[in-house]
Chains A and B, each alone.
Chain A
């Protein structure tokens, strides 16, 4: 069974700073690695995802860096804002048959951006 490690568990950043969250996975035959953002009382929402035919993907202030050989990927949030305060989950594909597909989520990182 796939296992996903995520660090740090919690992160406090000043407004305008850079937030960096790291993930490591064990094994996967599938190439799709998403980051989800979850606000209190809400369901997770896709923030950004990468298919590792590229080593980096940028969308606005959010960047995923992917190191396939190290089985690691990270999320960088540039110019962090108080509205970014949320819990962030990375995910990696788990075992899948021809009919279903599912992810294993990392334990999560609680980000607090101070004004």
Chain B
């Protein structure tokens, strides 16, 4: 199984809502990532978890809160978002450790903030 799954596929939320994005992989990977991608732009790294510990936070506003409950799951909790946060949110995973290698991306969650 070389698949990263993400739910939901689409999400529309108001600025006062609280919602969560979910990501799952069963490849035994120990590094997991959240990226944000705006239209016609490259993915921008938000967070990196390595061995279930947050290792990189790219100065992301606190209205985005990541969580890694176990080595297979990654969540992104959303609260009080702004319309400019509308984007495709991508989850990825990789083997982790010292060797650089392939990151496997999920299909993304298309988020619209009204």
Contacts and interface: CB of A to CB of B under 8 A. Distances in A.
Does B bind A? Answer: yes
A93 B42 CA distance: 15
A99 B33 CA distance: 12
Contacts of B42: 89, 105-108
Given A30-B100, A105-B43, A99 B105 contact: no
Nearest to A32: B100
Nearest to B45: A102
Contact of A42 (B51, B56, B100, B107): B107
Contacts of A43: 4, 90, 92, 105-108
Nearest to B98: A98
Q: Which secondary structure characterizes the binding site on chain A?
A: loop
A108 B94 contact: no
B69 interface: no
B40 A108 contact: yes
Interface of B: 4, 31, 33, 40-45, 48-51, 53, 55-56, 90, 92, 94, 96, 98, 100-108
Given A36-B105, A100-B31, 20 more contacts: A30-B100, A31-B100, A32-B100, A41-B107, A43-B90, A43-B108, A93-B100, A94-B45, A97-B55, A97-B56, A99-B50, A99-B53, A101-B31, A101-B50, A101-B96, A102-B33, A105-B43, A105-B44, A107-B41, A108-B41
